Amino acid sequence: MGGGGMPEQGGGHGRKKKALDAVINVVPAIDLLSCCIAFLLFTAVWTQISRLQVQSMGAGGPPPTAEQQKQLQITLSLTERGLVLSTSAGTSIDIPSAGRSPDGAPIYDVKALATRLKQIKTEYPDQSAITVAAEDAVLYADLVKVIDTCIGAGLAAVAVTAAG
């Protein structure tokens, strides 16, 4: 409060009492706050960049362990026509694209993909690995969107490879 109420001088029997109010020197506080603001403004990060961790399949990567090989293999292919979700259990689900963007790139139906992935996650709760296989023409934005959907559905161990 800017103008705090002055404490009342009680009594009033004519005797002069010592004043109860005290002036706090706020100048050091202002100095400290100014320094803090200057430092924080210099070090502030305005763009929050995050990362989606994926494994690069192919050269250099660690070979899959026996346990991983025993697990269900889920492969999600990004093609010109849409998404194809297949598992080593023999299931293959086509998720056709939801249309075309003005530059001709397919618009992937990520909502339908999320629903399918959640179904798989419900059936196999321990499953966390998925392989995303993309065609050469797939845009980076679409790849990231699909990987993000996979991670959101609980399949966090994403491996990326080329389709075909």
Q: Would you tell me which residues interact with other proteins (CB under 8 A)? A: 1-3, 26, 29-30, 33-34, 36-37, 40-41, 43-56, 58-62, 78, 134-141, 143-145, 147-148, 151-152, 160, 162
C-beta of 9: minimal distance to other proteins in Å? 21
| CB closer to other proteins, 89 vs 149 | 149
C-beta of 12: minimal distance to other proteins in Å? 28
Other Cβ atoms closer than 10 A to 74: 23
CA 68, CA 70: separation in Å to the nearest integer? 5
H or E stretch covering 121 = helix 110-123
H or E stretch covering 146 = helix 140-152
| CB closer to other proteins, 74 vs 78 | 78
Q: Say if residues 126 and 110 touch (Cβ distance below 8 Å).
A: no
| CB closer to other proteins, 11 vs 50 | 50
Q: Say if residues 52 and 152 touch (Cβ distance below 8 Å).
A: no
Q: Say if residues 158 and 147 touch (Cβ distance below 8 Å).
A: yes
| CB closer to other proteins, 12 vs 140 | 140
C-beta of 68: minimal distance to other proteins in Å? 15
| CB closer to other proteins, 121 vs 145 | 145
C-beta of 15: minimal distance to other proteins in Å? 29
Q: In this structure, which amino acid lies at residue 72?
A: L
C-beta of 23: minimal distance to other proteins in Å? 9
Beta bridge partners of 77: 84, 133
